[in-house]
Structure 1
């Protein structure tokens, strides 16, 4: 009887360990399912709603001022957010997840990193459609805050 139990345990361990090593999780793919972003030239490839918002931001904004437009109607599972910082052509985007924070799913930290008023860009951020995700629009990069 004891031998049968030992054989059963060994078989269980062998099968269980064989199953657990077959599939590895790809962190990059997992993160892309939560957040993805792209830079676009101002005035290209945006919907009419985004273009209208952007024209208003360009006309009324001051140098370095952030503007954000969120469009949840483009997808059921994802929300598209657009960030424009007057006079900037590149951005740092970071996703912050704190498992102990029960009030939100995460924070998206955006920093305009390259001043170039001649070649301004707009940032499109695709994230899971969850209103508990907060946006932080900052003058200081997250990298410099962590140093």
Structure 2
């Protein structure tokens, strides 16, 4: 009886181990460019008047970084425009859980300091099914030390 119990236990553990081997199918075509993309010094033609006016207002502001979001529930893609004074580039990261390709998360944006008289504009196009919002931060997610 004891030997029979041991055999059942061994087969049970073997079954559990084989069933949990982590060979779940993954979507090899998954690409972050499907979730967000960005372009420097670019404005969508349908946003031109609105964003040009907003940039003029941002230049007069005391804030070094300004953001303008354009999105609605009826469209799959949203846009964030980020304008900065005294910066030369942006580090843009999508924060999500690698456990699930269906996960949602924010875009994390960090300005990279430039000369005091430099200005930069970035247009970010994102899939609103995945991107929940945008965070402007002065700290990088991953240190480059």
Q: CA deviation at 1:99?
A: 6.8
Q: CA deviation at 1:105?
A: 1.8
- TM-score normalised to structure 2 length: 0.65
Maintained 8 Å contact 1:89/1:122: no
User: Aligned residue for 1:25?
Assistant: 28
Q: How many residues align?
A: 116
User: Aligned residue for 1:13?
Assistant: none
In structure 1, list runs of 5 or more residues that go unmatched: 1-19
Which residues in structure 2 correspond to 1:39-54 (within 5 Å)?
39-40=40-41, 47-54=48-55
SS at match of 2:39: strand
- TM-score normalised to structure 1 length: 0.64
**Larger C-alpha radius of gyration, 1 or 2?**
2
The question of 1:82 aligning with 2:81 is answered: yes
SS at match of 1:109: strand
Q: CA deviation at 1:98?
A: 2.9
More helix by share: 1
In 2, Cα distance between the equivalents of 1:61 and 1:38? Answer: 25
Which sits farther off after the overlay, 126-135 or 53-62? Answer: 126-135
In 1, Cα distance between the equivalents of 2:110 and 2:92? Answer: 7
Maintained 8 Å contact 1:87/1:120: yes
The question of 1:136 aligning with 2:139 is answered: no
In 2, Cα distance between the equivalents of 1:91 and 1:71? Answer: 19
In structure 2, list runs of 5 or more residues that go unmatched: 1-24
Maintained 8 Å contact 2:67/2:82: yes
Deviant stretches of 4+, over 4 Å: none
Which residues in structure 2 correspond to 1:51-66 (within 5 Å)?
51-62=52-63, 65-66=64-65
